[in-house]
A and B are shown apart, each in its own frame.
Chain A
Amino acid sequence: MNRRVTTAVRMGVREFRRTPVLLALLVFLPAYIIGAFVLLVPDVDVPATIDGTRVAVPMTDFAAAFMTPVTVAILSGIVGLFLVQTSQAADDRLRLAGYTATDLVVSRVGTLGLGIVVVTMASVVVAVFAFTPESTVPFVAATLLVGLTYGILGVVVGIVLGRLGGVYVMLFSPMVDVLLFQNPLATDAPEWTKLLPSHYATNALFDAAFTSSIDVWDFGGAVAYTVGLLVIGVLVFYQATDVE
């Protein structure tokens, strides 16, 4: 990584640090969402479809595992949205100062990645207080993939739709995709829901949460989806910043 990129990432991190309210929110909101559901749901078993099999899982464990990707998707999406919105003016100046297109893209992806890691870690820490995933490392990896997917989506939406429209879309999308259509309680999920952004990552996450097996196909699909979105995001970013 060259010096220009590290400088830009460092400045991005410094900007994060200068807004303690943001950092506090990124840590507090996962605790609020996941903690509230774990504490408030009834103490019963629910039938969920995990790895293609209908099994009974405790509602509190289910709530902790399920609200983790929901939380990470919402927070990462909004962070991605505003990261690109707030950095657009700076990017134009950096370009004039000699930054190449690759420098800018790598810098912004790096800063976004750091934000998503913070959100993921905060959410996973809260979740593991409530339940122990069967496979912890794959659980964290799948959560990170959900965050990356929605972080990149937030960037694309931020560039294409602007702030207000972008917030509307990023408010609805994780709820619809993760909460409604990737919900293991469902029995008749339509086929097209497999095309939604979090499908493979949440499948991998629920497998990791409740089984000791790792579904390579789901992880592979999630990684492919994330890489595909990243390519789209980079193209949209190039177009928006008019680099080269």
Chain B
Amino acid sequence: MSTVHRTLAGIQASTRSFVREPFTVVLLVVLPALSIQIYGIGMGQFPDVGVFAVSGSVATVGRITGAVFATGALAGVLGLFQMISARHADRRLAICGFRGVELVTARFATVAVASAVVSVVATLSLIVLVDDPIRAPLAAFGGLAIAGAIYGLLGIVVGSVLPRELEGSLLLVILTDVDNVFASGLFGIEDSITQFAPLAHPHAIVTEAVVEGALATGHLVPALGHLSLFALLSVAAYTYQLESGGDA
């Protein structure tokens, strides 16, 4: 079997195992819209008391926060469970002759596809739910896709380093929730600090696209920087767990 065939077989197997859980597929489609609407209502109840470092109406920024959070969280949890559930299968595939690079490509590709699907759903939901028309939907999609990819990779890192469902979920859920609050502008934490939060730049890209109708070029490079960093970390973590027998 050629490298391409082996990689495709890996992607197909991962995707199939995911699609076998129809409830999970439903959640991936429903949760972004639900999250956007709930965050919009939730943040709409806050008065403008100078606590929130947001541009645009608080309700709109709430919806954007809901979209970024849903995309990142869904992709992250998917990446985590993908790694944990596939750990033993990957070891057996490695014994069968699959190379590490093929396996890691298959895992990344599955997470990337799922992230892209969630990003599309989140973008469409934003278009429908935000009061004013979104003038730069592609830029909004781009920001959400980066958020999903970063968290998909983070899920792979956590799943490789901490391959236990309870501990991995605890860590990922807390990281996601805290990161989301940092990125949202809630609590008015300084930009010099929040810029290190992985969701901060994707959040800014989506906000600029929705509120200003422009591409936030100043945030694109740092966002891609975060993406590259997590890609490197996930390759290193995945390779480590494969070589160490998956008992990291």
Contact = CB atoms under 8 A, between A and B. Distances in A.
A82 to B, nearest CB: 4
Contacts of B181: 37, 179
A136 interface: no
Contacts of B171: 25, 29
A183 interface: yes
Contact of B35 (A19, A29, A172): A172
Interface string B22-62: 01100100010001001101111111010100000000000
Interface in B1-35: 21, 23-24, 27, 31, 35
A25 B24 CA distance: 27
B170 A29 contact: yes
A187 B42 CA distance: 11
A42 B188 contact: yes
Nearest to B194: A40
A163 interface: yes
A113 interface: no
A180 B73 CA distance: 17
Contact of B24 (A165, A175, A176): A165
A40 B174 CA distance: 17
A114 interface: no
A227 interface: no
B81 interface: yes
A29 B174 contact: yes
Q: What are the nearest 9 A-B pairs in CB distance?
A: A180-B42, A82-B166, A186-B45, A188-B45, A171-B173, A40-B189, A187-B47, A167-B169, A29-B174
Given A165-B27, A175-B177, A75 B187 contact: no
Contact of A187 (B27, B43, B46, B190): B46
B162 interface: yes
Interface string B164-202: 111101110110111011000001111001000000000
B166 A79 contact: yes
Contacts of A129: none
Nearest to A66: B187
B180 A175 contact: yes
Interface in A150-192: 161-165, 167-168, 170-172, 174-176, 179-181, 183, 185-190
B144 interface: no
Nearest to A62: B187
Given A168-B77, A186-B45, A42 B189 contact: yes
Contact of B27 (A47, A85, A168, A183): A168
A46 interface: yes
11 contacts: A22-B166, A25-B167, A29-B171, A33-B177, A37-B187, A41-B187, A78-B173, A162-B23, A171-B73, A174-B177, A175-B180
A73 B69 CA distance: 18
Interface in A44-68: 44, 46-47, 59, 63
A21 interface: yes
A168 B31 contact: yes
Contact of A32 (B45, B81, B174): B174
A85 B169 CA distance: 13
Contact of B41 (A41, A162, A190): A190
B210 interface: no
Given A37-B187, A162-B23, 8 more contacts: A59-B51, A78-B169, A82-B166, A165-B23, A168-B27, A168-B31, A183-B46, A188-B47
B117 to A, nearest CB: 15
A163 B188 contact: no
Contacts of A100: none
Given A42-B188, A161-B23, A172-B31, A186 B177 contact: no
A163 B170 contact: no
B49 A47 contact: yes
Contacts of B188: 41-42, 44, 59
Contacts of A186: 45-46
Contacts of B209: none
Contact of B38 (A33, A174, A180, A187): A180
Nearest to B38: A176
